């Protein structure tokens, strides 16, 4: 397979134990453009990557998400990008599987599913459960099932990436990319890959509880523009149910003890009214979004028809 149009993008931070092996493997496999975006490593990651033939640049900010955005937008000039972590948990042998849907024109974004071949010790049971919950939540909220939205092994066209609206600076970048694929109807393929345990002496930068919470919040926040009925509907249901519970308490106390709670009654009424309004707003926003998507699809069809003629 010809990799002349492919840039291998590796965001790094303190990966001195593994980055040399990663760069050497991809260089040996025929990738002549291995771009390491370093986030200010203090263990010589940048020097090791350079010694093994990588093109090393330094991100202006911090965090994986910022490194990926800056790397693709400012330092990649190839048509295709193969993105992976620098911790030697992803195999160069899977690169062809990752790139094939792109090179054959079947997809613009490819996700490597780690659960297809998850090696012993590669992921703790706690992280496995968390990943399953997040993936399930994504499919419910955003209506697509990508199998492993947190996978760091990605392949995509540079053009499709530049069309995405990404803002996360940390590990939420993979989640944002998955949401953007669902939102913009980007042709996306999921392929099986092998996920290896980190080599001994290599420490992870991931904090499961903190980063998991950030990812959940990002999933919910992004639903505002991708699934407004769920976003505003859930807030509306919460507000309405809270108002009804308070109203029930006020009513029972008044009927059984002849005690009135004027302030609580006002709060209950306010909660119910706001909840109903949020539900109505969610329905309206969902209708507008549906019409917007149908308009974009019609524009795409017209463009394709014009190109054929």
Name the β-bridge partners of 57. Answer: 37
Structure tokens at 117: 């071949």
The candidate with the shortest Cα–Cα distance to 160, out of 141, 185, 135, 139, is 185
Residue 248 has pLDDT above 90, yes or no: yes
Q: Say what the pTM is.
A: 0.79
Highest mean pLDDT range out of 2-6, 99-103, 285-289?
99-103
Q: What's the rounded mean pLDDT across residues 169-198?
A: 90
Parallel/antiparallel/unpaired status of strands 80-83 and 6-12: parallel
Q: Do 21 and 88 touch, CB atoms closer than 8 A?
A: yes
The tens digit of pLDDT for each residue in 184-235 reads 889 999 999 999 998 876 666 667 777 777 777 877 887 887 788 888 999 9
Residue 289 has pLDDT above 90, yes or no: no
Residue 299 has pLDDT above 90, yes or no: no
Query: Mean pLDDT for the chain?
Result: 89
**Sign of the Cα pseudo-torsion (69, 73, 76, 79, in order):** positive
The tens digit of pLDDT for each residue in 65-75 reads 999 999 999 99
Residue 52 is predicted with a pLDDT of: 95
Q: What's the rounded mean pLDDT across residues 122-143?
A: 89
Which contiguous run of DSSP H or E holds residue 249?
Answer: helix 228-257
Q: What's the rounded mean pLDDT across residues 234-249?
A: 94
Residue 2 is predicted with a pLDDT of: 81
Identify the residue with better confidence: 62 or 169: 62
The tens digit of pLDDT for each residue in 138-163 reads 898 888 889 899 999 999 999 999 99
Residue 294 has pLDDT above 80, yes or no: no
Residue 309 is predicted with a pLDDT of: 65
Least confident span in 155-164, 246-255, 294-303 = 294-303
The candidate with the shortest Cα–Cα distance to 135, out of 114, 119, 107, is 114
Write out the DSSP string of 154-194.
EEEEHHHHHTS-----STTHHHHHHHHHHHTT--EEEEEEE
* Gap between the Cα atoms of 203 and 40, Å rounded: 16
pLDDT > 90 fraction of the chain, expressed in percent and rounded? 60
């Amino acid at each position: 397979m010809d990799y002349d149009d492919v840039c291998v993008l590796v965001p790094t931070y303190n990966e001195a134990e593994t980055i040399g092996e990663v760069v050497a493997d991809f260089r040996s496999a025929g990738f002549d453009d291995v771009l390491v975006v370093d986030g200010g490593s203090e263990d010589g990651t940048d020097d090791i990557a350079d010694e093994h033939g990588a093109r090393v640049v330094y991100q202006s900010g911090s965090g994986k998400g910022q490194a990926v955005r800056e790397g693709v937008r400012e330092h990649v000039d190839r048509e295709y990008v193969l993105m992976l972590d620098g911790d030697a948990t992803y195999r160069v042998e899977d690169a062809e599987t990752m790139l094939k849907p792109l090179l054959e024109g079947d997809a613009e974004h490819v996700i490597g599913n780690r659960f297809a071949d998850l090696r012993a010790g590669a992921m703790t049971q706690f992280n496995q459960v968390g990943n399953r919950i997040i993936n399930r939540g994504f499919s419910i909220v955003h209506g697509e099932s990508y199998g492993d939205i947190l996978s760091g092994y990605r392949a995509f066209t540079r053009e499709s990436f530049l069309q995405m609206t990404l803002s996360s600076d940390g590990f939420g970048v993979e989640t944002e990319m998955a949401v953007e694929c669902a939102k913009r109807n980007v042709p996306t393929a999921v392929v099986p890959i092998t996920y290896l345990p980190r080599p001994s002496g290599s420490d992870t930068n991931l904090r499961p509880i903190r980063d998991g919470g950030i990812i959940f919040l990002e999933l919910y926040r992004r639903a505002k523009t991708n699934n407004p009925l769920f976003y505003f509907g859930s807030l509306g249901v919460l507000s309405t149910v809270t108002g009804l519970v308070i109203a029930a308490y006020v009513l029972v106390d008044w009927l059984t003890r002849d005690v009135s709670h004027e302030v609580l009654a006002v709060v209950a009424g306010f909660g119910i009214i706001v909840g109903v309004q949020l539900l109505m707003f969610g329905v309206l926003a969902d209708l507008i979004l549906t019409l917007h998507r149908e308009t974009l699809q019609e524009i795409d069809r017209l463009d394709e028809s014009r190109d054929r003629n």
